[in-house]
Amino acid sequence: MRKWIINANFVNLFAGSLAIAMGLLYIFNLPQMVSDAIAATRTWGWTVELTGILVIIFALSKNTVQRSTCPLLAIIVLLQFPPIFLWIAFNGTIVGEGTSSSAPIGNWLWAVPHFLLAIVSTYSIYFYRNLNSS
């Protein structure tokens, strides 16, 4: 039982850290979005980052509240679907409005970190389900 708790907390810390890193990518506009997409991506980045911070806080607390952690991880998973879909859908095209030569070109590789974060968060939820069943 103790082994499951340690593994679940480690996976939670990893998922929370990935969520914070992913949020920072979009808060600081690393994909170089043009002005019409910046507001949406920054809001998304703040949402993912704050959710990741809450996951880490719950993972580090002595009295881990499992009922609060699983919905946060599920929110992180659900928040990954729009960017995954959009990066794949806009593969090879200009992201945003206009035809500026400096506008970013969509690439499916930007979806890979989102896949990774969704998989790690789902795996963490799996750990909690096993912890509750044993």
Nearest to 46 by CA among 22, 72, 78: 22
Q: Look at the alpha carbons of 93, 94, 100, 101 in this order and tell me if their dihedral is positive or negative.
A: negative
Nearest to 5 by CA among 78, 68, 59: 59
Give 53-97 pLDDT, tens digit per residue: 999 988 887 665 566 788 899 999 999 999 899 889 888 887 766
Residue 132's contacts (CB-CB under 8 Å, 6 or more residues apart) are: 66
pLDDT over threshold 70, residue 132: no
pLDDT at 41: 81
Q: Can you count the helices (H) and strands (E) in the chain? A: 4, 0
pLDDT over threshold 60, residue 34: no
pLDDT at 47: 94
Give 21-31 pLDDT, tens digit per residue: 999 988 887 76
